[in-house]
Amino acid sequence: MKIICNNSAFRRQSDSKGKEGMILSMEKNKILVLYSHNPSRLEHLRKLRKLREKYNITLVLDENVDTSFQKDYVDNILKVPMKNVYEDIDNIVRQIKETIGIPDGIINISEMCVPLHSLLCKEFNIIGPSEEVVRIGRNKFEMRAFCKQLEIPVPKFELLNDNIDQICNNLTFPVVVKPTIGGGSTLVRRFNNKEELIENIHSLIQIANEKYKNDALFAKYKDKNGNVPFVVEEIIGGDVLFSTNFPFKVGEISVESIYYNDEVTVLAIHDKPIPSNGPYFEEYIWSTPTRIPIGLQEKAKEYVSRIHKKLGKGCYVLHTEFRTFKDDLVLLEFGARLGGGPIYKSLVHSTKNDYLEILINLSMGLQPELSKDKPINTITHCLWAEKEGKVKQIIGEPKAIWDAYYCEHQIYDDIGEIAVRAPKSCRSNGHIVYKGNDISFDELERRVIKGLNEFKFITEDE
């Protein structure tokens, strides 16, 4: 375990005689930030750097991650074996105490770190997710069973082990398979019939074993054959319930919500329709404020409220995804964390609410200050290479950013690097944001589409 320290948590001064004087400022509150690296989290790090004015920030991440640049954004870096947090928790706690003492708050910005978040909150008596939240929120099979008990609609599902024949008898094809401990759309795949499932499932399981071998939950939930378990569910559709210029046919939303003082607040609902219902489920767009009917917005709040309240005050943040239909919503998954990718900045751009500031307050038992401003129309769109391969060129960037409603963009993969597509990865190659409070969504969409037609990643075979 390695520790990198940059500066002290408080300031001292000397009097006219050169003796050290009293402490002028109170010691800063010490905040642990649990983190796994992803290029889309650059803005999280930039915000943490600014928050050092108010807090002593310690970034906690896996021991195998290169921290050559993260160290400049925070006060301390603590590298821990994320794979073995259950076995090594006593040692991790000891190292935290030696580095900063007792933390005042602990926040998590990564799906992978939910188990460690729960363990540390219990050790330091800080508000945070319980082990039940980990069991339900990080296991898609348990999650579906839990939501079914709460009368939240979910697809019909089964746990895959050595029971393919039974699954084929109980479920109607097409089906979708998902690793139980995975996050987002990674390794999620559609199969149209039993033959396809039998032919491809073993290779998908092997990819999952390699991808999640360093996840703290791998050993905890692996099946009797030592593999990552998969959940199989009947495919569902989804209706896009508003007019759009994008060629996305399957309606989907994500809900960002917080829970404090026994009240649930929905910070934002993002419309995130996808192009097709398989074979893979890469995400393309987040658009907010939502354009789904008011009745469905209220239903979304009702459903996430049931989850928050059942899991308790420690489950104070949720990222929840639903398919949208004319009369109802069907839950796909939820996570006890803020939404991944560029959702963090989308929330800031549209609502002026900063998720990191909110989470820090909640973790310290403080009521967050929320903006009441009218949300600004904001569209965040992924930048995808047309096909997997080595990035040969990135073209059209100057033209895309000259639009008056352009806000920001980030490139994740540089020339010469490998752009990976599903099923190996669901991470895009970058994103671009447009927003405006004096422009309709129809016109904003047209400007985004124009920018995307210019801004392209050109790849070649490796």
- pLDDT of the residue at 426: 86
Q: Give the whole-angstrom CA distance, residue 93 versus residue 150.
A: 35
Domain count within the chain:
4
Domain range for residue 335?
A: 250-372
- pLDDT of the residue at 62: 95
Are 364 and 381 members of one domain? no
- pLDDT of the residue at 376: 99
- pLDDT of the residue at 14: 34
Q: Give the whole-angstrom CA distance, residue 111 versus residue 426.
A: 14
In a domain, 15, yes or no: yes
Q: Give the whole-angstrom CA distance, residue 204 versus residue 202.
A: 5
In a domain, 240, yes or no: no
- Evaluate the omega torsion of the peptide bond into residue 174 and state whether it is cis, within 30 degrees of 0: yes
Q: Write down which residue in 316, 344, 372 finishes a domain.
A: 372
Measure the CA angle with vertex 51, ends 47 and 101; round to 5°.
Answer: 125
**Which of 310, 148, 330 shows the shortest CA–CA distance to 158?**
148
Task: State the greatest distance between any 2 C-alpha atoms of the chain, in Å, as a whole number.
Answer: 86
Alpha-helical runs (H) found in 312-436: 343-351, 355-363, 397-401
- pLDDT of the residue at 424: 79
Are 345 and 389 members of one domain? no
Alpha-helical runs (H) found in 265-321: 294-311
Are 393 and 459 members of one domain? yes
Per-residue pLDDT of the chain (462 residues; tens, 9 = 90+): 444 444 433 333 333 334 444 444 478 999 999 999 999 999 999 999 999 999 999 999 999 999 889 999 999 999 999 999 999 999 999 999 999 999 999 999 999 999 999 999 999 999 999 999 999 999 999 999 999 999 999 999 999 988 899 999 999 999 999 999 987 788 999 999 999 999 999 999 999 999 999 999 999 999 999 999 999 999 999 999 999 999 999 999 999 999 999 999 999 999 999 999 889 999 999 999 999 999 999 999 999 999 999 999 999 999 999 999 999 999 999 999 999 879 999 999 999 999 999 999 999 999 999 999 999 999 999 999 999 999 999 999 999 999 999 999 999 999 999 999 987 788 999 999 999 999 999 999 999 999 999 999 999 998
Q: Write down which residue in 234, 263, 292 finishes a domain.
A: 234
Per DSSP, 37 falls in state: -
In a domain, 55, yes or no: yes
- pLDDT of the residue at 204: 93
- pLDDT of the residue at 9: 38
Q: Write down which residue in 372, 398, 422 finishes a domain.
A: 372
Question: Do residues 409 and 432 make contact, with C-beta atoms less than 8 angstroms apart?
Answer: yes
In a domain, 144, yes or no: no
Report the relative pairing of strands 430-436 and 157-160 from DSSP bridges.
Answer: unpaired
Are 256 and 284 members of one domain? yes
In a domain, 189, yes or no: yes
- Bridge partners, 256 (sequence order): 268, 319
Are 352 and 437 members of one domain? no
In a domain, 167, yes or no: yes
In a domain, 145, yes or no: no
Are 318 and 394 members of one domain? no
Structure tokens at 131: 């082990």
Task: Name the region of 202 (left: φ>0; alpha: ψ -120 to 50; beta: rest).
Answer: alpha
- Bridge partners, 434 (sequence order): 379, 406
Are 8 and 122 members of one domain? yes
Are 28 and 42 members of one domain? yes
pTM assigned to the model: 0.93
Are 433 and 345 members of one domain? no
Are 255 and 351 members of one domain? yes
Are 215 and 121 members of one domain? no
Question: Do residues 174 and 191 make contact, with C-beta atoms less than 8 angstroms apart?
Answer: yes
Q: Give the whole-angstrom CA distance, residue 211 versus residue 425.
A: 10
Residue 50: give its domain's CATH number: 3.40.50.20
Between helices 42-51 and 355-363, what is the axis angle to 10°?
Answer: 60
Secondary structure of residue 395 in the 3-state scheme: strand
Secondary structure of residue 265 in the 3-state scheme: strand
Measure the CA angle with vertex 271, ends 335 and 431; round to 5°.
Answer: 85
Are 6 and 42 members of one domain? yes
Residue 450: give its domain's CATH number: 3.30.470.20
Query: How is 132-188 classified by DSSP, letter by letter?
Result: HHHHHHT-HHHHHHHHHHTT-----EEEESS-HHHHHHHSPSSEEEEETT--TTTT-
- pLDDT of the residue at 264: 98
- pLDDT of the residue at 395: 98
What are φ and ψ of residue 442, in 5° steps? -60, -50
Q: Which residue has the tokens 């069973």?
A: 145
Report the relative pairing of strands 329-335 and 317-324 from DSSP bridges.
Answer: antiparallel
Q: Give the whole-angstrom CA distance, residue 428 versus residue 385.
A: 8
